[in-house]
Amino acid sequence: MTTGAAALHRLLASAATLLGVVTLVFLAVRLVPGDPVQNLLGDYADQAEVRALRARLNLDQPLWRQYGSYLAALADGSLGTSVEAGGVGRTVADRLLEVFPATIDLAAAGLGFALLLALPLGFGSALRRGSWLDRGAGALAIASAALPVIWLGPVLLYLFSVRLRWLPLPGQPLDGPAHLVLPGVVLGLALAGKLTRLVRTTALEALGAAHVFVARARGLRARTVVLAHVARASLPPVITLLGMQLAALLGGAILTEKIFGRPGVGSLLVDAIARRDYDLVQGTVIFVATVYVVANLVVDLLLLALDPRVRHAR
């Protein structure tokens, strides 16, 4: 298969997945036991009110017709209408795009922290196997998997913002990178642990490979060998892991934003749940899933460009 054909194949698969995502969300919202209108209005709602809301949400239509108007709202890019305080509605897409940059900042901070910690630690522990650095990295990898974001966040917040006052408290205006330090650390720590392990494993494999042995035998300096050969060999697996872990990063962002009171897609979702804003909840879930699918598509296309073997692995 040529690179172009493989890329096209991947693109079509992603499109099919997205259609499936959208359909699953549609079915979940309508078929899960529990009446959205009753949930929204409470148990003692007036019957006329119930009927009116049912009509406004298109829930009085047959399922296939609901599906049609649902797809139409997705296709025109609005993702539906959000009910805001005062009854003024804006499109779900408007509200999402307004807060999305803040979530990107957070995810980038988490990713940046993870890479900053994991690359030196991973390569270092591979080069000095069995040293205290290696053992420390191993312990960190295990501990970071167990520490829940919802605990680490409040604890660090208390230590660094309340006690030591080194970093800003939640609710203060967002300016400067100081606001991203704690949320980035909290969000990125689990990823850092996984990444350290992966970098160490791939680096150890690469260090044992024939071409690295030859490069060393030719008298190249250790640092040159590591940068030129070992680091390059670790790149594809690291990119693959990052693509897969993006899910955890986006999921963790929802909790991190709530803990630190940051605006973002996660806060918007939590807020929409509290207000029982159906279109907004549904739209946010679709939006996040779409971001994830598209990001993974980009990762796959990157790998396709980086590693010729991927083209033939079918």
Partner 1 sequence: MPASARLRSGLAILALLGAAGLLGPLLAPFPVNARDGSALLAGPSAIHWLGTDEEGRDLLSLLLHGARVALLVGWGTVLASALVGTALGLVSGLAGGRLDLAVQRLVEIAMAFPGVLLAILLVFVAGRPGIASVVLALALTGWAGYARLVRGLALSLRSRGWVEAGRMLGLGPPRLLVRHVLPAVAGPVLVLMTFQVGAAILAEAGLSFLGLGPQDGASWGTLLEQGAVLFVKAPLMGVAPGLAIALAVLGVTLVGDELRERLDPRSEG
d(CA 108, CA 231): 22
* Nearest approach, Cβ of residue 313 and partner 1 (Å): 13
Least CB distance to partner 1 at residue 217 (A): 27
As measured in angstroms, the least distance from the Cβ of 167 to partner 1 is 15
Q: Nearer to partner 1 by C-beta: 239 or 247?
A: 247
CB 10 within 8 A of CB 279: no
- Using the minimum distance from each CB to partner 1, give the nearer residue, 139 or 306: 139
CB of 119 to partner 1, least distance (A): 15
Least gap, CB of 221 to partner 1 (angstroms): 28
The residue (of 237 and 263) whose beta carbon lies closer to partner 1 is 237
Residues that bind partner 1 (CB under 8 A): 13, 16-18, 20-21, 24-25, 28-29, 32-34, 36, 39, 139, 142-143, 145-155, 157-158, 162, 194, 197-198, 201-202, 237, 241, 246-252, 254-255, 258-259, 269-270, 273-274, 281-282, 285, 288-289, 292-293
Residue placing its CB nearer to partner 1 in the complex, 67 or 292: 292
How many C-beta atoms lie closer than 10 Å to residue 181's C-beta?
A: 17
C-beta closer to partner 1: residue 250 or 310: 250
CB of 293 to partner 1, least distance (A): 5
Question: Cβ of residue 62: shortest distance to partner 1, in angstroms?
Answer: 19
CB nearer partner 1, residue 158 or residue 213: 158
Distances (CA, A) of 63 to 67, 183, 282: 6, 42, 17
**SS3 readout for the chain:** CCHHHHHHHHHHHHHHHHHHHHHHHHHHHHHCCCCHHHHHHCCCCCHHHHHHHHHHCCCCCCHHHHHHHHHHHHHCCCCCEEECHHHCEEEHHHHHHHHHHHHHHHHHHHHHHHHHHHHHHHHHHHHCCCCHHHHHHHHHHHHHHHCCHHHHHHHHHHHHHHHCCCCCCCCCCCCCCHHHHHHHHHHHHHHHHHHHHHHHHHHHHHHCCHHHHHHHHCCCCHHHHHHHHHHHHHHHHHHHHHHHHHHHHHHHHHHHHHHHCCCCHHHHHHHHHHHCCHHHHHHHHHHHHHHHHHHHHHHHHHHHHHCHHHHHCC
Closer of 181 and 247 to partner 1 (Cβ): 247
- Taking the complex as a whole, how short is the minimal distance between the CB of residue 145 and partner 1, in angstroms? 5
Q: Which is nearer to partner 1, 270 or 304 (CB)?
A: 270
